[in-house]
Amino acid sequence: MPAQIAVENIRNTRGEPVTLLIEDGQVAGLAPAGTLGIPEVAERIDGGGKMILPGLVDGHIHLDKTLIGLPFIPHIPGETVAKRIAAERELRRTVALPVTARGGALIEKVAALGTVAVRSHVDIDTEIGLKGLEQVLSLRQSHGHLIDIEIVAFPQSGIMRDPGTAALLHEAVAAGADLVGGLDPAGIDDDINGHLDAVFAVAEKHNVGVDLHLHDGGALGAFELRQIAERTIALSLQGRVAVSHAFCLGELDDADFGRTSELLACAEIAIMTNGPGPVPMPPVKRLQAAGVRVFCGSDNIRDAWSPFGNGDLIERAGIICDRQDFRADDDLERAFALVTEASGAVLGRAEPLSIGTPADFILVDCGSIAETLAARPVDRTVFKAGRKVAEAGRLV
């Protein structure tokens, strides 16, 4: 393969004809058609008049949990987070395929849909130990040509209620996890300080970021968010801490929302939402107006938590629009940014399609970002590091 590739006959999101020049898998230029010097040795690819979009970035996925690759397993009901955790641990003991097979199948599915990078939480508890992590680390090697994987060591069964987990979180980060996670310090562990002490001790000792799941609602959840923000500032971890779900932000009175969002902005904490089902969700525009970073991910895809989900981030951005009543073009663009620039920034990726960044992009037959969210085209051509990995929604 030549080191230089010119992708011609493509349009930007404003419909203007552009050319993309790729060198050694990185963006070397993206400019109006006819204005870039194309080296004679460059391979030329005809983009068929399609629109170029940045590759999609999934800010929250669970590669180890998915049951994709297995015959459909009916959902086991569980009305509380604690009951679902117990049901999942029971199911996990009987699943026939290893994480490498199930997670690998999920990576192949989402890569074909245009996802080029994910942040995957991986369960760490005293029963499974680091086994799930080891397999996701193996997937990072075997599937690196399709996707970049960032890993969060996630104490799904709690920390204080599962003694030994705190030590495992340290081991997980030492073994290659990029961040440390957490889960409902009050709702699951019933010990806000104990839980957060354990999580932030891992972050401090290993100099890693944090991404906690927080389902605790209302004033309790808001109190926990402020505790997380205060600890973030105390350890100078601004910009490296995220909270996933944070449903509570969607059900606070103005005073509580004001003081909580102010502290989140000050601590540069990013809030991940997947546009959840019938529960309150963080108000995207209101948080952004308060200076809080918001990003998006799929969360559960065909696992013990949900029989649904397909990993399609264009569909996911549409779900965000439905939940937030976004209809105008600029709001649809705002939702698309949650699954591209915003999630990419949280994962430490540079501005997409800027010079010197990996040539990770998709081509779709739509005239604008808004039309893309509305049409949810299945025909996507996907490039990862300058190499075509999918065409018409299928891996090549």
Q: Which residues here bind Zn ion, judged by CB under 5 A? A: 299
User: How big is the CA angle at 315 (ends 314 and 316), to the nearest 5 degrees?
Assistant: 90
Q: DSSP E strands: which ranges in the chain?
A: 4-11, 17-23, 26-32, 43-46, 51-54, 56-61, 115-123, 148-154, 179-183, 209-214, 241-245, 270-273, 293-296, 361-364, 380-384, 387-391, 394-395
- Residue nearer to Zn ion on the CB measure, 299 or 360: 299
**Please, what is the minimum distance in Å from the beta carbon of residue 38 to Zn ion?**
44
| Closest residue to Zn ion, based on beta-carbon distance | 299
- Residue nearer to Zn ion on the CB measure, 269 or 370: 269
- Residue nearer to Zn ion on the CB measure, 135 or 244: 244
What is the residue whose two structure tokens read 């549409």? 318
Report how far residue 285's alpha carbon sits from residue 283's, in angstroms, rounded to the nearest whole number.
6
**Please, what is the minimum distance in Å from the beta carbon of residue 245 to Zn ion?**
7
- Residue nearer to Zn ion on the CB measure, 58 or 299: 299
The count of C-alpha atoms lying within 13 angstroms of the C-alpha of 353, restricted to the half-sphere facing its C-beta, is: 20
**Please, what is the minimum distance in Å from the beta carbon of residue 156 to Zn ion?**
9
What's the longest Cα–Cα distance across the chain?
66
Report how far residue 46's alpha carbon sits from residue 203's, in angstroms, rounded to the nearest whole number.
47
- Residue nearer to Zn ion on the CB measure, 64 or 299: 299
**Please, what is the minimum distance in Å from the beta carbon of residue 62 to Zn ion?**
6
- Residue nearer to Zn ion on the CB measure, 159 or 369: 159
For residue 228, what are the contacts with CB-CB under 8 A and spacing of at least 6?
A: 196, 210, 212, 214, 241, 243, 267, 269
**Please, what is the minimum distance in Å from the beta carbon of residue 135 to Zn ion?**
18
**Please, what is the minimum distance in Å from the beta carbon of residue 283 to Zn ion?**
20
